Structure 1
Amino acid sequence: MIRRLLPIRDRRLALRRKGATPPWLSLLFRVALAFALIGVALAIFWFDRDGLRDNADGAISFTDVVYFTIITITSVGYGDIVPVSDQARLFDSFLVTPIRLFVWLIFLGTAYDFLLKGAWERWRMKVIQRKLQDHVVVVGYGTSGSEAVSELIRRGTDASTIVVIDERPAAIEAAEDVGATVINADATRNATLDAVQVGHARALIVAAGRDDTSILIVLTARRLAPDVPISVIIRSEDNEALARQAGATTVINPASFAGLLLAGSTHGPHIADYMADLAASDGRVALHERRVTAEEVGKPLAAILTGLGLRIYRGTECYGFWQPEVGKLQTGDLVVEIVPKSEAQPVAPA
């Protein structure tokens, strides 16, 4: 199912996803199609054989029709040297002509690359775009971006619903190998984010590698997708506030998170272990966010039965399990809870 990306400098954006059809099967299809066309021509000449004349013996046999079909399709002419025996004609038809057919396939393949592939890519892009809904967009397929994609897949996300944006061909190929939809483009441009339907995405992850680039991407994305959750990797603590002002929902500093684990380990050997357990896809427990159900409205956070309630989000405010505001849940509250890994579900859009 897939295609070759056009570089952004060509001013054409192309989505692609690695397909299950191997190259040899595509080639076999082309060969089969060529022989099918020859079969159609052969049937036409056979039913119209009375309109043909053989200057050698005056009779039109099936061999004559096969021979005539082949030389007609390949535009081969012998002039005054004409094979008249069945053996010679069959030899030319079934041994020589396949060689010519493969040569024609090379020319047809070249014509496809230069004339048809662009239109094919545009059509494929439109097909993929129509299906992009509730997907995850990942900008940057470096260390952090690739780990995020791998973790999403481990947590049950269909790889085809992950769209990776990167300008490096090697990164694009690596992302394509895991089954993601990819686009070789600059994520700071409106056209790129429009191409991946960021407004219909479930979430946007920005791991561009540079804080200034990441913040610019967040600004661009937030204008196009006001309601989409945006998570961004920021490496300098000074830029975390800027990222939030740009519209990031979640700002993650890898160094700070590593520091939390290291500091936690000094206060007890199991604290860092539990934090890693929460974060890992193969841990025993997981953090889960969901909306309060109708049955839970009016009850305290401690009374929920689905997991261990930690905090609620009410509008723009956040309340911990120890605060009096969580004593009575309200419609629209978001609950963050710890649940067994087997019961963890993807977060529903707010």
Structure 2
Amino acid sequence: MFHVKRADGGTLNTPDANGIPQDDTLTADERPAVNRVKLPVKVVERPLRQVAKRLLMALLVLVLTALVVYADRAGYRDSADDSVDLLDSFYYATVTLSTTGYGDITPVSDSARLTNIFVITPLRVLFLIILVGTTLEVLTERTREEWRLKRWRSALREHTVVVGFGTKGRSAVQTVCATGLKKEQVVVVDPSAKVIDAATADGYAGVMGDATRSDVLRRAEVHKARQIIVAPQRDDTAVLVTLTARQLNRSAKIVAAVREEENAPLLRQSGADAVITSASAAGRLLGLSVLSPAAGMVIEDLIQQGSGLDLVERPVVRAEAGKGPREIDDLVVSVVRGHRVLGYDDRSIGTLQLTDRLITIVRASPGTQITPYPRPLPRD
């Protein structure tokens, strides 16, 4: 039985077998309902405003038709009292434009009949286009959205899933996209509808729902994802999401953020490949800035992708094979050999091999990209 320290001082009991754990302390209101996938789309005008404009246009056509009939009321005959007033004109316009045609009011003069042919009939067609067009547009939009969703699901492969689009999640996805990842390859999962709207406005696909539920993560196609960023607001949620994501995808690289450092080992045990302790990292940066403001500025510059100095991971090129880390042009910080990360001065490195990867410090430029890690081996 695992115990996760909660932000409010309590604990979360997490069973280690027989399915995905659940937080019994959460109420039904705290677990949001699962919503559909929302793809980024450029909204030209709000649907309600479009409907209101169409209704206004239909009303104007109706009023115009009634005024045309009233202006030539002498050419019409009402079977009830042989006279056509303003109310009769609106009545005739309504039944005529809607193609009901009861026949109680009819045009009898030549001018009234010509007006029906050349004026009222085009207005009737326009009226029907406005009403039927609204319905067809709704149906077409729904069909188009379903087609886009099916196409998105079939084409989505090796993508990045970001759970939690707060400050940490947003910064993480911006950093990843700065290295060359397309926004179409990012799916954001968050329980807030406003957050999902913000994510889709930025060009990312969004799934609204509780990421601790496997059906929500399946909507994000997490089983086909290459990497998963877990950045919720609470540590217990991070543990549950990591366990669920690892169960659905045994080979994806999972990076999780945690507030309390004592929960980091539990996240690693739950399946996270890397765990970032946000509170401790910020505290260490603060302490370093107090001791050496210049060093703090350098570290902050390194973690801000795309400006100043950048940390870049890249493979060893053929011309560098057989040389030492200090013999190549780039400033090498570490050497990744297999699953080990070795310091540049580690004697066990010897000479660089073609299968090695280098972590170097370079001057940021538009062409600089961080090459992602290879996919981790499936877990037992």
Tell me by how many angstroms 1:324 deviates: 0.5
Q: Which has the higher helix share?
A: 1
One-letter code aligned to 2:38: R
What residue in structure 2 maps to residue 20 of structure 1? 42
Structure 2 residue aligned with 1:141 = 165
Task: Give SS of 1:311's match.
Answer: strand
State the shift of 1:326 in Å.
Answer: 2.2
Residue 91 (structure 1) aligned to one of 104, 107, 119: 119
Q: Identity, % of aligned pairs?
A: 32
1:324-343 alignment runs, 5 A limit: 324-342=347-365, 343=367
2:363 is matched by which residue type in structure 1?
Answer: P
| Cα RMSD, aligned residues only | 3.2
1:137-286 equivalence runs, <5 A: 137-286=161-310
Q: 1:292 to 1:226 in 2, by over 3 A?
A: farther
Per-residue Cα deviation, 1:115-154 (whole angstroms, up to 9, x for no partner)? x94x665443221112212322110112222232334445
Q: Secondary structure of the equivalent of 1:186? A: coil
Choose from 333, 340, 344 the match for 1:321: 344
Q: Name the amino acid aligned to 1:293.
A: V
- SS of the residue corresponding to residue 85 of structure 1 reads helix
SS of equivalent to 2:275:
strand
Q: CA deviation at 1:282?
A: 4.3
Q: Against the structure 1 CA distance between its residues 8 and 144, is the aligned structure 2 distance closer, same or farther, given a 3 Å change threshold? A: same
Shift of 1:289: 1.4
- Matched-pair contact (CA < 8 Å) for 1:198–1:221: yes
Q: Distance in 1 between matches of 2:356 and 2:96?
A: 76
Unaligned 5+ runs, structure 1: 1-6, 32-70
d(CA) in 2 for partners of 1:132 and 1:287?
A: 28
What is the deviation of 1:283? 2.4
Matches of 1:167 and 1:102 in 2, distance apart?
Answer: 38
The whole-number CA distance in structure 2 between the counterparts of 1:248 and 1:91 is 72
In the alignment, the residues of structure 1 paired with residue 371 and residue 152 of structure 2 have an alpha-carbon distance, to the nearest angstrom, of 24
SS at match of 2:323: coil
Per-residue CA distance 1:64-109 (angstroms, 9 max, x = gap): xxxxxxx999543242534462223322123355345434445556
Q: Structure 2 CA distance, aligned partners of 1:181 and 1:195?
A: 11
Return the alpha-carbon distance in structure 2 between the equivalents of residues 15 and 211 of structure 1. Answer: 25
* Change over 3 Å in CA distance of 1:149–1:313 after alignment to 2: closer
Instruction: Please tell me the residue identity of whatever aligns with 1:16.
Output: K
Q: Would the alpha carbon gap of residues 106 and 24 (structure 1) be closer, same or farther in structure 2, given more than 3 Å must change?
A: same
Which residue matches 2:91? none
Q: Does 1:131 align with 2:159?
A: no
**C-alpha spacing 1:24/1:223, structure 2 compared with 1 (3 Å):** closer
8 Å contact from structure 1 (residues 287, 344) kept in 2: no
Tell me the amino acid that sits aligned with residue 23 of structure 1. E
Find the aligned partners of 1:8 and 1:260 in 2 and give their Cα distance. 35
Max radius of gyration: which structure? 2
Distance in 1 separating the partners of 2:151 and 2:50: 23
Range with greater deviation from structure 2 (173-182 or 255-264): 255-264
- For 1:7-86, what aligned pairs fall within 5 Å after superposition? 9=33, 14-20=36-42, 22-23=44-45, 74-83=98-107, 85-86=113-114
1:161 positional shift: 2.0
Which whole-Å CA distance do the structure 1 matches of 2:358 and 2:98 have between them?
71
User: Post-superposition shift, 1:297?
Assistant: 2.9
Distance in 1 between residues matched to 2:246 and 2:180, nearest whole Å: 27
Q: Which deviations, in whole Å up to 9, do the C-alpha atoms of 1:201-238 show, x marking residues without a partner?
A: 33211111111111111122223222222111100011
Structure with more contact order per residue of length (Cα contacts < 8 Å, sep ≥ 6): 2
Q: Tell me, what secondary structure is at the counterpart of 2:195?
A: helix
TM value normalised by structure 2: 0.68
Cα deviation, residue 239, structure 1: 0.2
SS in 1 for 2:105: coil
User: Aligned-pair distance for 1:344?
Assistant: 2.3
1:261-293 deviations in whole A, cap 9, x for unaligned? 112123322100000110113421111112333
Task: Indicate the SS of the match to 2:206.
Answer: strand
Distance 1:121 1:24 in 2: 16
Q: How many residues align?
A: 296
The 3 A distance-change label for structure 1 pair 294 and 223 is: farther
Distance in 2 between the 1:178 and 1:247 partners? Answer: 30
TM-score, normalised on structure 1? Answer: 0.74
Asked whether the 8 Å contact 1:204–1:229 carries over to 2, the reply is yes
